[in-house]
Amino acid sequence: MPAAATASEPDIVRRLTVVRHAKSSWKDEGQTDFERPLNRRGERDAPEMGRRLSNWAERPTLVVASTARRAQQTTEALIAGWTPRPPIVWQPDLYLASADQVLASVLDLDAAHLHVMLVGHNPGLMDFANRFGDAGLESLPTCGVVRLRLWVPEWSDADWGVAHVEHVDTPKSQAPPGNG
């Protein structure tokens, strides 16, 4: 029987789940963009998408998220019912990050984590998914999810074009997520 794969083997499968924050409120004109909370639809969609993600055969073991209020609320709602609950790294650099900034965050991920979830903002996340993988997205709606698969020994070995889309899900889609 072959030995179990370790995170340092070159043929190890890594997964990156990219999630755009849920729908946010523009109600309070006095709030900065960074402080905007989720609106009712966002408060409904984030737990539903978390439920769908919880049904995946392999859930993320680490969450890296923007520190913007709406991204924090989305993150907490996504993983609220998960056991075990993955640790969250709140990363200020993901607030309105460009695709290049998102890639820099990926390259810094701990190799011990084979499946990581990033929670952030458009247009950077959509641009990242399109350049990092073969997503071909024209839009990534609020609370939209893209799960990417790549084969690299370490996250630091990742680069543009190395990943392939395993699954795309949005709050409006009815199909359950794949368990690939």
Q: Domain 13-137+161-169, what fold?
A: Rossmann fold (3.40.50)
Supply the pLDDT for residue 134: 87
Are 61 and 83 in contact by the 8 Å Cβ rule? The answer is: no
Supply the pLDDT for residue 90: 98
Are 161 and 132 in contact by the 8 Å Cβ rule? The answer is: yes
Supply the pLDDT for residue 3: 40
Instruction: Map out the domains of the chain as residue ranges.
Output: 13-137+161-169
φ and ψ at residue 160, rounded to 5 degrees: -60, 140
Supply the pLDDT for residue 57: 79
Instruction: Identify the segments of the chain with pLDDT beneath 70.
Output: 1-10, 175-180
Supply the pLDDT for residue 176: 54
Q: Note the pLDDT tens digit of each residue in 153-168.
A: 999 999 999 999 999 9
Q: Note the pLDDT tens digit of each residue in 12-48.
A: 899 999 999 999 988 878 889 899 999 999 999 999 9
Supply the pLDDT for residue 2: 35
Q: Report the predicted TM-score, pTM, of the whole model to 2 decimal places.
A: 0.89
Q: By C-alpha distance, which of 89, 168, 90 is closest to 134? A: 168
Q: By C-alpha distance, which of 96, 104, 85, 126 is closest to 36? A: 96
Tell me how far CA of residue 29 lies from CA of 23, 70, 100, 122, 136, in angstroms.
16, 15, 31, 21, 34
Supply the pLDDT for residue 29: 80
Pairing assessment for the beta strands 164-169 and 88-90 based on DSSP bridges: unpaired
Write down how long the chain is: 180
Supply the pLDDT for residue 4: 42
